[in-house]
Amino acid sequence: MIKVVVDRTKWNRGNVINSALLNEHGMCCLGFACLALGFTEDEINELKTPSSLREYTLMRKPGDNDAIAALHPLLDERMNYNGEVALKLMSVNDRPWEEFNGIKENAEVKREERIKELGLQVELEFEFIN
């Protein structure tokens, strides 16, 4: 199990338009996961998804199979595209709080619970701080 610490003060959520692994708006839950998998902020900056990080890594370090292997929990079984859990994590992360059927505070609790549940399916243990 890999621990993923999400700092709420840096977490960009509920905003599909400005979502990315990392950008000037913050970091999505998958950005925090990529850091936990060994990537740096420079490597994930301005990239939208784990599969785009895979492509970037292939161009930056051809033949670096360790870096690609690190993305295994987030990619499909062929290691080419975003995996099913990664797609669900993106959806939960980017969904506006109003879609969680309740007041904003309850929606944030539900969002975090769902991210934790999904993460466990791919051996990622999400923890939320601050």
74-129 pLDDT per residue, tens:
998 888 888 999 999 999 999 888 877 767 778 899 999 999 999 999 999 999 99
pLDDT at 107: 86
53-65 pLDDT per residue, tens:
888 887 777 766 7
Mean pLDDT of 16-24: 92
Mean pLDDT of 38-56: 92
pLDDT at 58: 78
- Asked if residues 130 and 9 have their Cβ atoms less than 8 Å apart, the reply is yes
Global pTM reads 0.90
pLDDT at 3: 97
Q: Rounded to the nearest 10 degrees, what angle do helices 84-94 and 104-121 cross at? A: 170
**Whole-angstrom Cα distance, residue 106 to residue 83?**
28
